[in-house]
Structure 1
Amino acid sequence: MTQPSAPPRAENLLLLRLLAGRGARKARAAFAAPFQALARWTAPAPERLLIAPQDIGTGDPTIAADIYAGFFTFAGKIVDCRGVSPFALRPPSAHWARALYGFSWLRHLRAAETALARANARALVLEFIALRGRPSGSIAWAPDVVARRTLSWLSQSPMLLETVEYEDYRRFVGVLVEGRRLLQRCLAEGLSGETQLTAAVALTAFALCAQGGASQLAEACAALSRQLRLQILPDGGPITRNPQTLVDLLFDLLPLRQAFAARGLPPPPELLNAIDRMNPALRMFRHGDGSLALFNGMGVTAPHRVATLLGYQDAHSGPLVNAPHAGYQRLTGGEALAIMDVGAPPPPLFSRGAHAGCLSFEFSLGRERVVVNCGAPSGNRADLRASARITAAHSTVTIDDASSCLFAGNQGLEGYFAGEILAGPSAPACNREERSEEIVVTASHDGYVRRYGLRHERRLGLSRQGLWLRGRDRLLGPSDAAPGDFAYALRFHLHPKITASALDQGRGARLLCADGAIMTFEAGGLPVSIEESIFFAGPEGPRPCAQLTIQGNAADIPEIVWSFSLQRPD
């Protein structure tokens, strides 16, 4: 068997360039930060809040009862405080701590609509101020946590400040001011990744809500506009390429738009344009059961959150079907739907949750998910995160059991790059054809060229009536040369609700959907194995599922033609 080429020198040069570029950016930011921060530190602290942005999230009164009883459940961890303040306890995990200190859970206390719940909310906030209210190096004062806490406190301020003494009011606003200063400083010093946008949203919200915030509003809006231009692509997709990013951002941006209206101020055009573009992009990822497609870090869908956002959209607006900037294609026919990843990995600073799933796809029939990617595990299962990101966890081709992307963790550089994707496919060539009988998307990527000299090309064709999905996967050598002698696996992960059984002595498979629909899978007479897989994105945690697998060698079988066909009832 041909040995893959291994260019460690090229990888080392890549890492050196990344390290040098990041160091230069930090040096420039560190030089500019003192001058940018001077005016902020001398700005007067506001004495009161004028408005409260609306929290459009849904609260659960039963969770409010748990909190009153001293049970705090976040990120799969339950803590019984036993009469001790949760802010005085050692957090069971970093994810649990971020949720606690972010205070999004205050909406559940508001939803209870009782004087007891409101008093409990005020008491817990005052406990935080007493125990954690001064900036420190703890998780409580990490920039992303500070931004989330700022937005949570502002939206719940009518409940939190009801009947409080002046001194407590002043301390409450004082913690918000400290958070504003920290976020301003972090942005000036080169805060990276998605947190830049969350911080800009929080700063803009605080400037709108606080008395005398007008002096800070122009700068906050400039930062917000800059980050929206960077992180929301022209077709409305997020730079992270993760559908969950759209959900989280819209829950922040929609109340911010309302806050501008409440103050009688015009929102930045970038804010309005971003929201308008994001709405069709969110619909693009939505399957018939309401779940979002499992690409690039997407895990369990919270259906009520997506439904809330759809309620703010034009009921007549449809989903985006061709997203060249975000790198996705949506094919629909009858009740059938296929969503395909045809994009390159996000830029390194935005790739910490991204997956190596180029050219993977998901397929559903009505409300029944059929072919899926394995998805991302919840935050409390960090041990599974690396397994979920590899190419083999996606419904696509894997060569030599290797991923199409190079992850920082695989190179022993987790501390420097925090799980970023250091290298991967360049933007795939993609062509979409709207034919009378079918919709066809053809795309190819070069993620395996460097190591194996092979390009992967995939063609998907979906019947206009939704009766079949046909595909072709090819491994192409350089120019007209034959592909090298490399083993590969073509995988189709099936949703846990799908029951698969072998057909025709292993030459195909019969798929039984939960609603009784039956599909057959065939691959031109090639042997099809039904193997165990794992679905990471189950609401109750990881679940076993099946996968259809075709093993081959690029030199012997460089092309596989396959199909899923809906069986008509007799």
Structure 2
Amino acid sequence: MSTALANKPLIAILTIQEAWRRVRRRLRTGPIHSLRFVGAAPDRLASVPPSLRRGDPFIAEAIYGGRFHLAGKVVQAFDQSIFHSPMPSADFTTELHSFAWLCHHAAAADTLAAANARALVSDWLRLASGKLSGPAYEPETAARRVIAWLSHADLLLGSAEYDFYRRFLKSLMAQTRFLRSIAQEAPAGMPRLRVRMALALATLCLPLAAGRSRTAAQHLADELDRQILPDGGHISRNPAALAEILAELLPIRETLTSQGQPVPKGIYSAIDRMLPALRFFRHTDGTLAQFNGAGASDVQLLASLTRFDETLGEPLSHARHSGYHRLSAGGTVVIADTGTPPPLAVSQNAHAGTLAFELSSENARIVVNCGCPQPGQPELKRLARSTAAHSTLVLDERSSSRFAGQPGLDRFLGSPLVPGPTEVSVEEVETAETGRAVGFFASHNGYERELGFLHARRLELSPDGYRLDGEDRLIAPRRTRGRADAQAADLRFHLHPGVTVETLGRFARLSLRGQIWRFSADQNFSVDDSIQFAETSGPRRTLQLVITFVPGPVTTVRWAFERLS
């Protein structure tokens, strides 16, 4: 690990910062300081926030039978509590202690589901609540638990006995004090924002002084100002982060409004920016584009969130701050990554997919990225983050951005993305008649230092949406260091599992949901196996179109997707 740190000063700095953050958090939650979290508890909740998440009653039934399917693993708890059962993975433990699965009990909405939910919370209070350390008290896990308990308080407390009612509120109060104590020491990005959202919600739902809720709401507004970009994207560049944030932020706004309390400008402004941005990242089938950690979409949640979007018209074509392009015409949508990697401190889930694109048409996706797998599959996650798992150009089977690949660092930092492209230049392509953007030309320098090439891509969508023309080019700048090392370039187009492929000479016929598309290129291509990671049921086999050429003799490849019917 020391060699890796010596070769990567940014990683060394981040490691020191993370070590110091953990020390500060330990000092705040040590044996002496933990006494601060014990105190009087309220005798009731002031309000119960609405929940935008919809669960599955069949999953609640499985949990009642002792079968927990979380983070890609299954544990059958027979005669003992699930909190005493061996945990199959760290991700399973995190999901279990977050209590996000309570939404399934709420979906069942019957007496048996409510009783089972109370029994599981009671088990946690008895077996796991006493020690302010370990997975259950990681900042983001504790924040998700507080939000879940508050959002489903009606289910848990509706017919609860007094003893459970008292212990539940006492624990909620203690966890709120804990989160308030460590809020500043939470990891950067989503974990810190989730803690701020949990605190804002808790101070509204617990009968505390009005000053507490105003302070918590303002702290949340300040954190949103730091993390939500001017175009509405999240600093991590993960489209799915918007849905996660809005799912908790909108109920906070609704609760503030219902209580007659002022909503800080930062909260209103963030919501007004994020809702159009969420629409920007949605394909024609309603799912989110699979970039930088986005996996399988919760279509029901997305539908609930879009009902709050009162903006009209088409989304922007270029989200400059987030680093994405969107082309839309005639029911066809193209979304492309035209930005540099996110800041190192929030890049644990970022992908090396610069200049990758996705294509969809009339409720069907055609060209995709492989997406992020479900939690609990670290090997697949690393593979999914590579450039080869994206619909873009791969040089010498290397990723355009690198990963902090030491196992020790992975456990400590979460494998941040070491920026490859430090510069992505972008130019709009507009029609001469209307001045409307129909495409873009972009290039990145992720391969320049090691392999001596810039990768440039040009995409143009026809006005009727029936043809997407593309051009990929390798440019050797004057400083050609390392150029001789580049042996092969692979231009990959991953196809959605719903697409069937038939090759016809220099063409490929793509069939999907009643549509026929034709792929053509000025170079030979092959049809190879691929895999779609972003599926709720697990990875699925699919296909990809691959153009392989040798850098140097061929530096430009032109290709097109054309709809025939």
> 1:411, CA displacement in angstroms?
8.1
* Root mean square deviation of aligned Cα: 2.8
> 1:499, CA displacement in angstroms?
1.9
> 1:567, CA displacement in angstroms?
2.3
Residue 417 in 1 paired to residue 418 in 2? no
> 1:376, CA displacement in angstroms?
1.0
TM-score with structure 1 setting the length: 0.90
What do residues 417-453 of structure 1 show as CA deviations (whole Å, max 9, x unaligned)? 2111122212411122331497021111111122122
Letter in 2 for 1:459: R
| Cα distance in 1, alignment partners of residues 538 and 207 from structure 2 | 45
**Structure 1 equivalent of residue 504 of structure 2:** 503
**Structure 2 equivalent of residue 4 of structure 1:** none
- Aligned CA distance change for structure 1 residues 207 and 423 (closer, same or farther; 3 Å): same
What do residues 40-71 of structure 1 show as CA deviations (whole Å, max 9, x unaligned)? 76986544321011112113333332232322
Pick from 81, 87, 90 the counterpart of residue 85 of structure 1.
81
> 1:310, CA displacement in angstroms?
1.5
| Cα distance in 2, alignment partners of residues 64 and 31 from structure 1 | 39
| Cα distance in 2, alignment partners of residues 232 and 557 from structure 1 | 42
**Structure 2 equivalent of residue 470 of structure 1:** 469
| Cα distance in 2, alignment partners of residues 87 and 467 from structure 1 | 55
Q: Please give the secondary structure, in 2, of the residue aligned with 1:442.
A: strand
Matches within 5 A, 1:430-449: 430-435=426-431, 436=433, 439-449=438-448
| Cα distance in 2, alignment partners of residues 70 and 29 from structure 1 | 35
> 1:165, CA displacement in angstroms?
4.0
**Structure 1 equivalent of residue 396 of structure 2:** 400
Q: Which moved more, 1:468-477 or 1:515-524?
A: 515-524
Q: Is the 8 Å Cα contact of residues 200 and 220 (structure 1) preserved in structure 2?
A: yes
| Cα distance in 1, alignment partners of residues 34 and 239 from structure 2 | 38
Residue 255 in 1 paired to residue 251 in 2? yes
| Cα distance in 1, alignment partners of residues 512 and 184 from structure 2 | 53
| Cα distance in 1, alignment partners of residues 67 and 155 from structure 2 | 21
Letter in 1 for 2:354: C
| Cα distance in 2, alignment partners of residues 135 and 30 from structure 1 | 13
Residue 104 in 1 paired to residue 103 in 2? no
Q: Is the 8 Å Cα contact of residues 49 and 251 (structure 2) preserved in structure 1?
A: yes
> 1:509, CA displacement in angstroms?
2.9
| Cα distance in 1, alignment partners of residues 26 and 114 from structure 2 | 43
What do residues 517-554 of structure 1 show as CA deviations (whole Å, max 9, x unaligned)? 22222222x11111111111233211121111111222
TM-score with structure 2 setting the length: 0.91
Letter in 1 for 2:493: F
- Aligned CA distance change for structure 1 residues 80 and 225 (closer, same or farther; 3 Å): same
> 1:510, CA displacement in angstroms?
1.7
Q: Is the 8 Å Cα contact of residues 134 and 175 (structure 1) preserved in structure 2?
A: no
Letter in 2 for 1:540: S
| Cα distance in 2, alignment partners of residues 21 and 167 from structure 1 | 43
> 1:30, CA displacement in angstroms?
8.6
> 1:358, CA displacement in angstroms?
0.3
Matches within 5 A, 1:131-530: 131-314=127-310, 316=312, 318-409=314-405, 413-435=409-431, 436=433, 439-479=438-478, 484-485=483-484, 486=486, 487-504=488-505, 508-524=506-522, 526-530=523-527
| Cα distance in 2, alignment partners of residues 478 and 380 from structure 1 | 42
| Cα distance in 2, alignment partners of residues 153 and 119 from structure 1 | 14
| Cα distance in 2, alignment partners of residues 413 and 77 from structure 1 | 24
**Structure 1 equivalent of residue 559 of structure 2:** 562
Q: Is the 8 Å Cα contact of residues 423 and 444 (structure 2) preserved in structure 1?
A: yes
**Structure 2 equivalent of residue 3 of structure 1:** none
Q: Is the 8 Å Cα contact of residues 60 and 111 (structure 1) preserved in structure 2?
A: yes
Q: Please give the secondary structure, in 1, of the residue aligned with 2:287.
A: coil
| Cα distance in 1, alignment partners of residues 4 and 453 from structure 2 | 19
Structure 1 runs (4+) deviating above 6 angstroms are 7-10, 24-34, 37-40, 480-483
Aligned length: 556
> 1:105, CA displacement in angstroms?
2.1
Q: Is the 8 Å Cα contact of residues 280 and 317 (structure 1) preserved in structure 2?
A: no
Pick from 549, 553, 560 the counterpart of residue 550 of structure 2.
553
- Aligned CA distance change for structure 1 residues 218 and 379 (closer, same or farther; 3 Å): same
Q: Is the 8 Å Cα contact of residues 329 and 340 (structure 1) preserved in structure 2?
A: yes
Unmatched 5+ stretches in structure 2: none
| Cα distance in 2, alignment partners of residues 144 and 549 from structure 1 | 40
- Aligned CA distance change for structure 1 residues 24 and 362 (closer, same or farther; 3 Å): same
Q: Is the 8 Å Cα contact of residues 451 and 481 (structure 2) preserved in structure 1?
A: no
**Structure 1 equivalent of residue 529 of structure 2:** 532
Unmatched 5+ stretches in structure 1: 1-6
